[in-house]
Amino acid sequence: MPTIKLYDEDAYMKEFTATVVSIEKNDKGQAGIVLDRTAFFPEAGGQSADVGELGDFKVVDVQINGAGVITHFCVPKNAPADGGQGSGAQGSLSDSFSPENGTALPAVGEAVRGAIDWERRHTLMQHHTGEHLFSGIVHRDFGYDNVGFHLSDHICTMDYNGTLSEADVARIETECNEWIYKNAVISCDYPDDAALAGLDYRCKGELVPPIRIVTIAGADVCACCAPHVHTTGEIGTLKVLEAKSYKGGIRLTIVCGRKAFADYRNRFRLLAEASHLLSSHYENLPERILRLQDEKYALKAKISSLQEERLRQLIANATGEDSLFFVEDVDTKSIRSAVNALMDTHSGLCGIFCGNDPDGYSFILGSAVRNMQDTASLLRQELKAKCGGSEKMIQGQVHTKREAIERLLAEASAFST
């Protein structure tokens, strides 16, 4: 028999009692408990499942099958944070659930008490109703469909099959919050066939009767199986965090209610820290950061100029058959020119490594008489370098100490110090 959906009858039910119908076992250290009725919402419609407690156990996942049977996947309350899904975390199912451990499973026919994690559930409800509000306005004004929706503890995203400008997103966001201020009533019901036939509503794919309709009069009418808040005011607030192109349309990330407040608090804290560190009022931070960037680029240019001058002096004073130099903050074009200049006046290995021990080195090595492919193979084999090139010149990166580079090339008689 399909499980009776108490969350459908009352989205605000936090606790309930039910009878155990069956217990399924899996290889994740979990017990799958089927009840005759439940207030736990299963994973469906893009929304994550409820979690909470069932008797003496933690509910870590809830799933519904095609026949409408809802299974609660449970672990002992002292199970790891991963819900017992880690490899070997719980041992065998019989080890996890036993009278000796005080974790005996209920018997079929036994009554158990369930309690959902209400704050988490209500937060998901805030976001799901917020998504309906936003998607309804998008559909009303642009005719786009919501072709993707994902709601979990960490994120709420909506995908639309059309594009929206930055101004469009801002306007819709503003209207959503105006609806929140109105505290409009949200209705969830099952229209009969005649009423449903005359109803213009949004839906995501083919639906199986009975069809539940969620209505925000004037903003949205949509088929949906998930719990929703009673009024738009409970959404609290809605803020778009990100908008980006996605599969020819647009993907939006939003935050609502408790999470919106937490996000605002965290951003304000970071802003205050930045203001303190830069000794600037937060309203002046963009200008202050741009000025610091200009100063940084100017300093880098000056340092690069000085390094290039030093490199020219080193090259001018270089003696011997081989010439190898280590520098910092010199661009690749200047390094290549320097190596070409060295190859014109030195018959051995000529090269420049640019960088430092902590960050690694980029390099260009060349020789008018040696096969640099052999040197590349040596660097790849001994120092795990990434490099390639021709017989005359190679280029690449290596993350190791300068001492190791010099020792390797010296031992291979590639150059003498």
Q: Is residue 171 part of a domain?
A: yes
Q: Which residues of the chain have pLDDT under 70?
A: 80-96, 100-102, 412-417
We report the CATH number of the domain holding residue 207 as 3.30.980.10
Token output for 355: 């960088």
Residue 220's alpha-carbon distances to 29, 91, 239, in angstroms, are 42, 49, 18
191 and 206 belong to one structural domain? yes
Which tens digits make up the pLDDT trace of 74-95? 999 887 655 554 433 334 445 6
H or E stretch covering 202? none
Question: What per-residue confidence (pLDDT) applies to 308?
Answer: 80
Of 70, 99, 116, the last residue of a domain is: 116
Q: In terms of domains, do 184 and 86 share one?
A: no
How many domains in the chain? 3
DSSP string covering 261-274, please? HHHHHHHHHHHHHH
Contact 131, 159 (CB under 8 A): no
Question: Residue 156: which domain range?
Answer: 121-265
* Whole-number pLDDT of residue 6: 98
In this prediction, residue 301 carries a pLDDT of: 87
**Residues in contact with 46: Cβ distance below 8 Å, sequence separation at least 6, in sequence order:** 148, 149, 150, 151
Q: Tell me if 125 sits within 8 A of 133, measured CB to CB.
A: no
